[in-house]
Amino acid sequence: MPPFANAGRVLGCASNFMAQSIIDPSRLEKIEFSNDEIARYSRHLIMPEVTLAGQRRLKAASILCIGAGGLGSPIALYLAAAGIGRMGLVDGDTVDFSNLQRQILHGTKDVGRKKLNSARDRIREVNPNVQVELHDTMFRSENAMEIAADYDIVIDGTDNFPTRYLSNDVCVLLKKPNVYGSIFRFDGQCTVFAPHLSGPCYRCMFPEPPPPGMVPSCAEGGVLGVLPGIIGVMQAIEAVKLIMGIGEPLIGRLVSFDALKMKFREFKLRRDPKCPVCGENPTITELIDYDQFCGIPQAAAAEAAEAPVPEMTVHELKQKLDAKEKFVLVDVREPYEYDIARIPGAKLIPLGELPSRMSELDTADDIVLHCKMGGRSARALRLLQEAGFSKLTNVAGGIEAWAEEIDPSVPRY
C-alpha cells in the first residue's frame, strides 16, 4: 500500500462517534459464563469500562477475518484470547516456510498444511471456548456475500487490491463495519470503514485501484516480520471497541505507523458524497468482477501479447555449464539476493543498473539471463534487444527453478 494516495480527502472534521455497541441487547440474554470462563476473563471483568456486560457482548459477537496470514495471526490469536464468541476465517492457502517470519498462527511443523487447519488448532489451544468456522476458499464475488452475512464485523487481513475492494463493497452493501489494515515493508495503516455509522469507505479514499504492478506486494517488496503484530493488534482492538461499545472507534480516522521512525500519525477521513458505492447516487449496487476492475486480466493479456522472449530450461542451462560452453551468464537480481543464493559463474548486473552497464557486455557473446523467477530477466532481455543485442536467452523459472530442479543446496527465499 502506498502511504495514503488520496491526499485531497485528508481534510475536514470527523464526526464524533458515540460509543455504542454494535451488538443488539436482545442477543445478550442467553449468554452465560462458566466459573472457568469467569476466571479466564477476570482482568476484563474488573474494569468498570468492561465488566461482565462487555464480556457478554464479546461472547455474543462474531467476526470474520479474511486471511489467516500476517495480519490474521494477531487478529485471530488476540480476539480468541479476549473471548470472542465466534470467529470465521477465510483462507485457501497452505503454510510455506516464508510465512513463518510473521504469521505466528503457524509453526514450523505446520509447513505444507492448510493454513486454516493450523490456525484452528492454535486458536483452540489459546481458547477452546471460541467457536471457529473455517471457510476453505478464496474470498470471491461468488461467495463473499453469503460468507460475510453471518458475522457482525469483517476484518480485512488481505494484501491484494481485488479482495480489498471486494471486502469493502460487501461490507457497505451488508452494512457491517470493515476493520481495515495494510502493511508494506516498515509501514502500516489501520482504520474502520463504516458508511452506515457515518464514516467513509475504502472507495471514498481510493475510487480507482492503482495500475496492476504499480504497487508491489509484500511478496515482492518484503515486510518487517514484527510489523503485522502492531497493525493486526490495532485491528483487533478496534473490533473489541465496536463490540463492547467503548472508546472512540477509528471511524473517519486513519492511523499510519512508521516502524523505522517509531511514529504514529493520524489522518482525518471524510465520506465522499460521490462515492460509487456508499455515496448519494451509488453506481455499484451489487458485487462486480474485482479482478477485472483492478485490471488484472488486461495486464496479463498485455504481457501475453508482447513477443515471447527466447527461453531455456534450468536443465538446458546445467548442460551448457557442464559442457563448458562459452557463454556469459548474467544475474539481474539485486546484490542482497545474490548474497543469499547464486548460480556458479553468474555475473551480477542488477536490472536497474543494466542501462548504464551494457558496455560490460559484448553483442558477439552468447548471453544467458536469469533472475529469481524469470520476470525481471525477461525485461532485461528486451532492454538488451532494443540496444542491439541478439544472442540472448532467458532462464525460465530463474534461480527458484534451479534450486528446485538442479541444486537443492541452493537456499530459496
According to DSSP, residue 336 is labeled: H
Active-site hit among 218, 275, 278, 294: 218
Chain residue at closest Cβ approach to Zn ion:
275
Least distance CB 88 / Zn ion (angstroms): 24
Active-site hit among 171, 190, 201, 371: 371
Q: Smaller CB distance to Zn ion: residue 272 or 400?
A: 272
| Positions 153 through 212 that interact with Zn ion (CB under 5 A) | 201, 203-204
Q: Smaller CB distance to Zn ion: residue 247 or 276?
A: 276
DSSP codes, 227-260: HHHHHHHHHHHHHHHHHHT-S---BTEEEEEETT
Q: Smaller CB distance to Zn ion: residue 173 or 204?
A: 204
Cα dist from 354 to 326, 376, 388, whole Å? 22, 11, 14
Concerning whether 371 is annotated as a catalytic residue, the answer is yes
Q: Smaller CB distance to Zn ion: residue 85 or 279?
A: 279
Q: Smaller CB distance to Zn ion: residue 204 or 384?
A: 204
**CA-based nearest residue to 67, from 99, 93, 87:** 93
Question: How far is 257 from 41, CA to CA, in rounded Å?
Answer: 30
278 counts as binding Zn ion under rule CB under 5 A: yes
Concerning whether 218 is annotated as a catalytic residue, the answer is yes
Segment lying near Zn ion (by CB under 5 A), choices 94-102, 132-140, 276-284, 319-327: 276-284
Question: How far is 97 from 100, CA to CA, in rounded Å?
Answer: 6
Cα dist from 31 to 27, 36, 129, whole Å? 8, 15, 13
DSSP codes, 123-169: HHHH-TTSEEEEE-S---HHHHHHHHTT-SEEEE---SHHHHHHHHH
The residue written with cell numbers 490456525 in the block is 119
Runs of H (alpha helix) within 265-353: 290-293, 296-305, 314-322, 335-340
Q: What share of the chain is helix, strand, coil (3-state, %, to 5)?
A: 40, 15, 45
Question: How far is 44 from 51, CA to CA, in rounded Å?
Answer: 6
- Using left for φ > 0, alpha for ψ between -120 and 50, and beta otherwise, residue 213 falls in left
Q: Smaller CB distance to Zn ion: residue 278 or 368?
A: 278
Least distance CB 162 / Zn ion (angstroms): 17
Calculate ∠ Cα 15-21-23, nearest 5°. 135
Q: Is 191 helix (H, G, I), strand (E, B) or coil?
A: strand
| Residue 185: strand pairing partners | 223
Least distance CB 311 / Zn ion (angstroms): 45
Least distance CB 201 / Zn ion (angstroms): 3
Least distance CB 205 / Zn ion (angstroms): 8
Least distance CB 5 / Zn ion (angstroms): 15
Segment lying near Zn ion (by CB under 5 A), choices 95-103, 221-229, 272-280, 380-388: 272-280
Residue count, binding to Zn ion (CB under 5 A):
5
Least distance CB 202 / Zn ion (angstroms): 7
Sheet holding 367-370, edge to edge: 311-312, 392-395, 367-370, 328-331, 347-348
| Positions 51 through 90 that interact with Zn ion (CB under 5 A) | none
Q: Smaller CB distance to Zn ion: residue 278 or 369?
A: 278
The residue written with cell numbers 440474554 in the block is 29
| Positions 251 through 270 that interact with Zn ion (CB under 5 A) | none
Neighbours of 226 (CB within 10 A): 11
Least distance CB 206 / Zn ion (angstroms): 10
Q: Smaller CB distance to Zn ion: residue 200 or 229?
A: 200
**Positions that interact with Zn ion (CB under 5 A):** 201, 203-204, 275, 278
As annotated, the active-site residues are 218, 371
